[in-house]
Amino acid sequence: MELASRYVLVGLIWLTRFAVVLLSTSYASAQSGPDTGQCDQIRQAVATYGYVAAKRHALANYGPQAVKAGEKCLTKRERMRG
């Protein structure tokens, strides 16, 4: 095997390993849920701007997984205030 093709093969192996590790991690495994300080900020945003506006902002800036995690901070009553 030529030296150049061996380098390409080794590079592809490392790239594949890196991709597998990267794809196997997720937001859910990184954090079980928002901490107390984050929940306080979420509740304050809902109280100030309303549930719909706060959710829209979070979705646009943090993504659907963060919104789903943030929902754990709110009671059904807080979500209904809207």
Count: domains in the chain: 2
Read off the pLDDT of residues 15-30 as tens digits, 9 standing for 90 and up.
777 777 766 665 545 5
Which residue from 38, 49, 35, 36 is spatially nearest to 78, judged by alpha carbons? 49
Same domain for 25 and 44, yes or no, is no
What's the rounded Cα separation, in Å, for the pair 31 and 33? 6
Rounded to two decimals, the pTM is 0.55
Domain around 46: 31-82
Residues 26 and 39 occupy one common structural domain: no
Q: Would you state the pLDDT for residue 60?
A: 92
Which contacts of 28-33 are long-range, i.e. CB under 8 A and separated by 24 or more positions? 28/65, 31/69, 33/69, 33/72
Whether the CB-CB separation of 43 and 81 falls below 8 Å is answered with: no
> Does 38 share its domain with 75?
yes
> Do 41 and 53 touch, CB atoms closer than 8 A?
no
